[in-house]
Amino acid sequence: MRAPRAIQKTFATRLVVWQRAHGRHDLPWQGEDAYRVWLSEIMLQQTQVATVIPYYQRFVASFPDIAALAAATEEQVLEHWSGLGYYARGRNLHRAARLIADKYHGEFPREFEQILDLPGIGRSTAAAICALAFHERRAILDGNVKRVLARYCGITGWTADKKIEALLWQQAETLLPQRDVAVYIQAQMDMGATLCTRGRPKCGQCPVQDDCAAFQTDRVHQLPTSRPRKVVPERHSTFLLLMSGRDILLEKRAPQGIWGGLWCLPQLDDGQDLVADYVQRNGIVVSERIELDAFTHTFTHFKLHITPVLLHVPHKPLQVQQAGSVWLDVEDALRAAIPTPVRALLKQVRHALPSDRAS
């Protein structure tokens, strides 16, 4: 499927040379221990480096080691994850830290199978930790590497398809060098992030351009093959912003599902205007109702169309002052573990409030 063995050997060599001269060397988790490598790998799933760096820095400042993370509450962990998205990653990270504290006495395990057994860690992530933290000879296959290998090896087909993914894993293992594995793995990541990008790849700067199948056959923009199109489900919800002075009502979501364990606004689903029913059922006296601009929040598997309704209430109703609910000053609410669309709405509300904190 691929070029002669001599070329296979030089692919890794060229990437290593390129990485040392042109790759990224100032990422805050580079050269760090397994805990920080693990944390960075989890944060980088589905998220770009520029977005991750400030979250990573704030996270390690509060939880500098596994013991600190294991001792934290899930609420504290999710507060630090708030806005990063894919919150199951934060919950799994916390679960894994507690498991490491109990089973491995707080020391990050070194064996690949032990790492793979931790919550939230798959084959590629476990291999990346082994290669970058322990310098083991392990191949990885994250999104960037899939794109690099699909182009270099000329592999057509959607990379998430099981058969195509198996071919990519085969190539990843075949091209793996015997030495400088950590540098090589970083080179693959750097190549995919800075040169072999999804759009506008910089082929003129690529160290393996001469035998890249996609470049040689003018298929760089056709590979990797796009995901088969399908209809994205759409849902409709009304978000209620119940305001009493500067305080706003938040409700904690169940641990499972979208936004599990986060603090959210009361949500009315099915696209129906059930605001009047909610107000009556909870004995809420509304002094003013304001319809805010609707917007759409896109998840991986569906789109959520959100209609926000601001309700000013002169007195906090007793019916909604219960377990799982809390009234917080808007500034305090913004520091809580809240999802991105809720944060956007709270910032919008805060902007319209007086600058003082008086109720």
Tell me which of 183, 216, 249 is where a domain ends: 216
CATH of the domain at 260: 3.90.79.10
Position 252 scores a pLDDT of 92
pLDDT band at 273 (very low <50, low <70, confident <90, very high): low
| Same-domain pairing of 34 and 169 | yes
Q: Write out pLDDT tens, residues 130-167.
A: 999 999 999 999 999 999 999 999 999 999 999 999 99
Type and span of the H or E element at 205:
none
Number of Cβ atoms within 10 Å of the Cβ of 16? 21
For CA atoms 43, 49, 54, 57, the dihedral sign is: positive
Judge if 34 and 179 occupy the same domain: yes
Q: Based on the domain organization, do 185 and 239 belong to the same domain?
A: no
Q: How far apart are CA 116 and CA 269, in angstroms?
A: 38
Q: Which two tokens stand for residue 224?
A: 């990797």
Residue that is last in its domain, among 182, 216, 250: 216
Handedness of CA 109, 114, 118, 122 (dihedral sign): positive
Provide the CATH number for the domain around residue 9: 1.10.340.30
Residue 173 among the catalytic residues: no
- Which of 183, 203, 182 lies closest to 194 in space, CA to CA? 203
Closest-CA residue to 261 (of 317, 318, 324): 324
Residue 249 has pLDDT above 70, yes or no: yes
- 197 and 272 in a single domain? The answer is no
Q: Specify the number of domains making up the chain.
A: 2
Quick one: which of 306, 289, 310, 290 has its CA closest to 298? 306
Whether residue 251 lies inside any domain: the answer is yes
Beta bridge partners of 296: 305
Residue 139 belongs to domain spanning: 5-216
Regarding whether 212 and 165 lie in a shared domain, the answer is: yes
**What proportion of the chain, given as a percentage, has pLDDT over 70?**
93
For the ranges 132-141, 181-190, 202-211, 317-326, which has the lowest average pLDDT?
317-326
* Domain shared by 157 and 244, yes or no: no
pLDDT digits (tens, 9 = 90+) for 46-90: 999 999 999 999 999 999 999 999 999 999 999 999 999 899 999
Q: Let me know if residue 271 belongs to a domain.
A: yes
Angle value at C-alpha 338, between 256 and 334, nearest 5 degrees: 165
- The answer to whether residue 98 sits within a structural domain is yes
Alpha-helical regions (H) of 4-122 = 5-22, 34-43, 49-62, 66-71, 74-81, 88-103, 112-116
Query: Rounded to whole angstroms, how far apart are CA atoms 199 and 117?
Result: 35
Q: Are residues 16 and 128 in the same domain?
A: yes
Are 76 and 138 in the same domain? Answer: yes
Residue at token pair 């050269």: 31
> For all residues of the chain together, what is the average pLDDT?
92
Alpha-carbon distance 77 to 90, whole Å? Answer: 7
Do 204 and 264 fall within a single domain?
Answer: no
In this structure, are residues 30 and 37 in contact, taking their beta carbons and an 8 Å threshold? no
Do residues 322 and 182 both lie within one domain? no
Residue pair 243/286 in contact by the 8 Å Cβ criterion = no
Structure tokens that stand for 305 in this block: 């169309």
What's the whole-model pTM score? Answer: 0.84
- Among the listed ranges 155-164, 232-241, 304-313, 315-324, which one has the minimum average pLDDT value? 315-324
Residue 359 pLDDT > 50:
no
Residue 229 in domain? no
Paired with 269 in beta bridges are 237
Q: Peptide bond preceding 224: is omega within 30 degrees of 0, i.e. cis?
A: yes
Q: Is residue 146, in this structure, part of any structural domain at all?
A: yes
Out of 32, 41, 173, 291, the active site residue is: 41
Asked if 63 and 190 sit in the same domain, the reply is yes
Q: What are phi and psi of 177, to 5 degrees?
A: -80, 170
Q: Are residues 274 and 332 in the same domain?
A: yes
Q: Please say which residue of 216, 251, 273 terminates a domain.
A: 216
**Backbone φ and ψ of 236, nearest 5°:** -125, 135
Q: If you write DSSP's letter for every residue of 142-186 in order, what string do you get?
A: -HHHHHHHHHHHT--SBTTSHHHHHHHHHHHHHT--SS-HHHHHH
Q: Residue 137 has what pLDDT?
A: 97
Q: Is residue 221 part of a domain?
A: no
Give residue 267's pLDDT band: very low, low, confident or very high (50, 70, 90). Answer: very high
Q: Are 221 and 290 in contact (CB under 8 A)?
A: no
Residue 223 in any domain: the answer is: no
Domain assignment present for residue 138? The answer is yes
